[in-house]
Amino acid sequence: MMDDSLFISDAVHEREVELPDGQKHTLFFRELPASKFRSFQEAERSKDESVREGSIARLIAASVCEPDGKPSMTFERAMKLKPAAAGAILERVLEINGFGEKKASTPATDAGSGTS
**pLDDT, tens digit only, all 116 positions of the chain:** 899 999 999 999 999 999 989 999 999 999 999 999 999 999 999 999 999 999 999 999 999 999 999 999 999 999 999 999 999 999 999 999 998 755 544 445 444 333 33
Would 55 be classed as within a structural domain? yes
Supply the range of the domain harboring residue 84.
10-96
Angstrom distances, CA of residue 28 to CA of 5, 35, 62, 116: 20, 21, 11, 22
Angle between helices 55-63 and 83-96 (to 10 degrees): 60
In a domain, 113, yes or no: no
The per-residue pLDDT for 101 is 59
Number of domains in the chain: 1
In a domain, 4, yes or no: no
Task: Let me know if residue 108 belongs to a domain.
Answer: no
Please indicate, yes or no, if residue 46 is contained in any of the structural domains.
yes
Q: Domain containing 17 — which CATH number?
A: 3.30.2220.20
84 domain residue, yes or no: yes
Of 99, 112, 98, residue with least CA distance to 26:
112
**89 lies in a domain?**
yes
Q: Is residue 49 part of a domain?
A: yes
Put simply, whether the predicted model's pTM sits higher than 0.75 gets the answer: yes
